[in-house]
Chains A and B, each alone.
Chain A
């Protein structure tokens, strides 16, 4: 009951954040120099043609009215038309979001599955070789730009070793439409097409690794320092005195109280990757929303830019809500204090 109240409060708060976001992005999109109509029509268009398009887009109306129209569209779930693709923005985002979403999920899973155990190992063997190895690895992965890693992986696995595909989401000759969730792996499973799932995973691997490295390094470092913090707590010494065996101490008594910082980082990363995946998406010709967003920004395709930002915003808010719930689950102190 109290938890439900907490959720409702958080959702209301999130809606407010989204309204704020819509205003800010609307204002920014209009302050940026350049005429969207002129950019869409190209340098050869006449002044009348540009004027026509401006009127069609409503760019000649007062700014408040434009915002009103934008919000009205948003409320109907209509993001307008893209000047770049000449399709409804809704369709563009629907087609590209699932690709980015699948990539980001794979990235997060990789970062988490490798980052947390590395952090635990580093903390367990602090100042010994596993720790040093993890620290070096974490620094390298954090300072290596994802596009560099992407190119490196592409050259190594694709051109030198010929073991993994380097561009796209599926082989060109594979017949498959992901029309349930849009995620190839999930839809493949749902439709019983194991061949599709395996191929999709093969195509996912390189971009996901390129994107995951930095996050993994961060997760490993945060887990390490958090574990070391907890390991000097009295209750860990106490569990040792009561004869609780070391594996239980490390993986139960130390890991769970250490889990909140990595979880928080993970949530922030999850959401920011949706936007920041574009470099890797461009390198791997991944038909994702991040790459679409960049193309539309360069073209000053206002409707599409705002659509991408709003979808990212909604996603950010949802992920953080989920993380808050998880944090409450991991650490009862948050739950108990929060409900009081």
Chain B
């Protein structure tokens, strides 16, 4: 136990389907100190999404079983606290930014309706009450914070009426509604074009720094790791294979898997990898 905002200790998760059991997380430990920006990187199937879902309490049981470990938030173990207590934290103290802006918003309700509903039940869990008008005021305020130009128009819109970049901003705004201390971002912007993604990452970083949030960035993209984090955990096959400050990792990767991962980044000039030359450029 330490003083990190989020601390995962020796977390093990297995999935069982049709009588077969697969261990997808083995003794995963990681720390997210308050106001820090860390990244969790690995290829598809490395266990980063399962780690995130376990932290958020989104795993479906069955097929998933948490076979061991603890997840401390603010010093309290999420896995042993009563379900009601844990529900109070979800979407409020810790919140998620979803990956795909095209599919993460309900197509048949307006943005205002969806954000209002999230806020309404977050308030209810926290024992606060806010009228409809106040709720919409808060929604408009947060949409303004994610640099949305016309919040009133956005709240009246259906997702289909907004661009991908705007929808991603809405997803960020949704996560910020109840002023969380920890943001878990699941590869935000990967579904967008590179320019828009860069804007989104910049926005996210600015927001996190402005309001002193802790950010856990989950990604397979080493470029994103470099842009957004100061400390990085590398995962492979359900195990954390290496963790160190981001700059150090890129300068001298120690684990063979990390080396391979860095080596796999395509370069326009031929060859591959970030390397020292790439870092200097």
Contacts of A235 in B (CB 8 A): 103-107
The one of B107, B122, B158, B160 in contact with A242, judged by C-beta atoms closer than 8 angstroms, is: B122
> B96-125: contact bitstring with A at CB < 8 Å (1 yes, 0 no)?
101110011111110000100110011001
Size band of the interface chain B makes with A: 20 to 34
B96 contacts A241, C-beta separation under 8 Å = yes
Q: Does B36 contact A (CB under 8 A)?
A: no
What is the minimal beta-carbon distance from B109 to any residue of chain A, in angstroms?
7
Q: Does B161 contact A (CB under 8 A)?
A: yes
Interface centre among A239, A256, A331 (most CB of B within 10 A): A239
A240 contacts B106, C-beta separation under 8 Å = no
A253 contacts B121, C-beta separation under 8 Å = no
Q: Does A330 contact B (CB under 8 A)?
A: yes
Given the interface pairs A234-B98, A241-B90, the reply to whether A333 lies near B121 with Cβ below 8 Å is no
B91 contacts A331, C-beta separation under 8 Å = no
B158 contacts A333, C-beta separation under 8 Å = yes
Given the interface pairs A243-B122, A244-B117, A248-B117, the reply to whether A234 lies near B104 with Cβ below 8 Å is yes
Q: Name which residue of chain B comes closest to A243, CB basis.
A: B91
Q: Name which residue of chain A comes closest to B110, CB basis.
A: A332
Q: Name which residue of chain B comes closest to A257, CB basis.
A: B108
What's the Cα separation between A333 and B161 when bound, in Å? 9
The one of A239, A245, A336 in contact with B160, judged by C-beta atoms closer than 8 angstroms, is: A336
What's the Cα separation between A240 and B59 when bound, in Å? 11
The one of A237, A242, A253, A257 in contact with B91, judged by C-beta atoms closer than 8 angstroms, is: A242
Q: Does A233 contact B (CB under 8 A)?
A: yes
The one of A237, A241, A245, A256 in contact with B121, judged by C-beta atoms closer than 8 angstroms, is: A245
Q: Name which residue of chain B comes closest to A337, CB basis.
A: B160
The one of A234, A256, A332, A336 in contact with B100, judged by C-beta atoms closer than 8 angstroms, is: A234
Q: Does A28 contact B (CB under 8 A)?
A: no
Given the interface pairs A234-B103, A235-B104, the reply to whether A241 lies near B158 with Cβ below 8 Å is no
What's the Cα separation between A324 and B145 when bound, in Å? 39
The one of A241, A245, A332 in contact with B107, judged by C-beta atoms closer than 8 angstroms, is: A332
B108 contacts A243, C-beta separation under 8 Å = no
The one of B96, B103, B107, B161 in contact with A331, judged by C-beta atoms closer than 8 angstroms, is: B107
B58 contacts A240, C-beta separation under 8 Å = yes
What's the Cα separation between A253 and B92 when bound, in Å? 20
The one of A242, A332, A337 in contact with B118, judged by C-beta atoms closer than 8 angstroms, is: A242
What is the minimal beta-carbon distance from B245 to any residue of chain A, in angstroms?
29
Given the interface pairs A244-B121, A330-B108, the reply to whether A233 lies near B90 with Cβ below 8 Å is no
Beyond known contacts A238-B174, A257-B108, A337-B160: 20 more, CB 8 A cutoff: A233-B103, A235-B103, A235-B105, A235-B107, A238-B171, A239-B106, A239-B117, A241-B95, A243-B87, A243-B92, A244-B121, A248-B117, A253-B109, A256-B109, A257-B106, A257-B107, A331-B107, A331-B108, A332-B107, A333-B158
- Show 22 A/B contacts (Cβ-Cβ < 8 Å), sorted by A: A234-B98, A238-B96, A238-B98, A238-B104, A239-B106, A239-B118, A241-B58, A241-B95, A242-B90, A242-B96, A242-B118, A242-B174, A243-B118, A244-B91, A244-B118, A244-B121, A245-B121, A256-B108, A332-B108, A333-B158, A333-B160, A336-B158
Report which A residues bind B (CB closer than 8 A): 233-235, 237-245, 248, 252-253, 256-257, 330-333, 336-337
Q: Which 7 A-B pairs have the closest CB atoms?
A: A243-B91, A234-B103, A242-B91, A242-B118, A235-B106, A332-B158, A234-B104
